[in-house]
Amino acid sequence: MEQIFITDVSPRDGLQNQALHLSTAAKLELIRLLCLAGVSSIEATSFVSPKAVPQMADAAELLHQVNQAFPALRSSVLVPNLKGLQRAQAAGAKEIAVVLSATDMMNQKNINMSLAAAVAASEQTLRQAKINRLRTRAYIAVAFECPFEGIPPLDRVLALAEQMLQAGADEIVIADTIGAAAPAAVKERITALAEVVPLAKLAIHLHDTRGMAVANAWASLEAGIRRFDASAGGIGGCPFAPGAAGNLATEDLVLMAEHSGFSTGINLDRLLTVVDFAQAELQRPLGGRSSTWLRRQRERRAAGD
Q: Which residues are catalytic?
A: 238
- Tell me, what amino acid is at 19? A
- CA atoms of 146 and 271, how far apart (whole Å): 31
With H, G, I as helix, E, B as strand and everything else as coil, classify residue 259.
Answer: coil
Nearest CA-CA partner of 87 in 116, 121, 117, 125 = 125
Measured between alpha carbons, how far apart are the two ends of the chain, in Å?
29
DSSP string over 71-131? TTSEEEEE--SHHHHHHHHHTT-SEEEEEEESSHHHHHHHHS--HHHHHHHHHHHHHHHHH
* CA torsion, ordered 157, 120, 43, 218, to nearest 10 deg: 10
The closest of 187, 244, 257, 238 to 4, measured between CA atoms, is 257
Question: 25, 13, 10: which is closest to 58 by C-alpha?
Answer: 25
